[in-house]
Amino acid sequence: MTTIELPTEDGTVDAYLARPDDGGPHPAVLLYMDAFGLRPHLRSMADRLAAAGHTVLVPNVFYRFGRAPVVELPEFINPAERPEIIQAIGPAARTLTPEGAMRDAAVYLAWLEDSPLTTGGPVGVTGYCMGAGLALRTAGTYPERVAAAAGFHGAHLATDAPDSPHLLAGRITAELYLGHADQDSTNPADQIARLEKALTEAGVEHRSEVYEGAHHGFTQADTAMYGAAATERHWAALLDLFARRLTG
The yes-or-no answer on residue 54 being catalytic is no
- Rounded CA separation 54/73 (Å): 28
Closest to 169 (Cα-Cα) out of 212, 200, 126, 191: 200
Closest to 199 (Cα-Cα) out of 241, 160, 169, 161: 169
Residue 79 preceded by cis peptide, ω within 30: no
What is the residue type of 156?
Answer: H
**Which of the residues 14, 34, 104, 184 is marked catalytic?**
184
Q: Is 153 left (phi over 0), alpha (psi -120 to 50) or beta?
A: left
- CA 177 to each of CA 11, 105, 152, 153, 208: distance values in angstroms, whole numbers, following the listed order: 32, 20, 9, 12, 6
- Rounded CA separation 201/214 (Å): 27
The DSSP output letter for 34 is -
**Which of the residues 153, 206, 216, 234 is marked catalytic?**
216
- Rounded CA separation 168/64 (Å): 25
**Which of the residues 129, 153, 215, 222 is marked catalytic?**
129
The DSSP output letter for 171 is G
Output Rg (C-alpha) for the chain, integer angstroms: 17
Measured at the CA of 172, the angle between CA 168 and CA 174, to 5 degrees, comes to 145
Residues classed as catalytic = 129, 184, 216
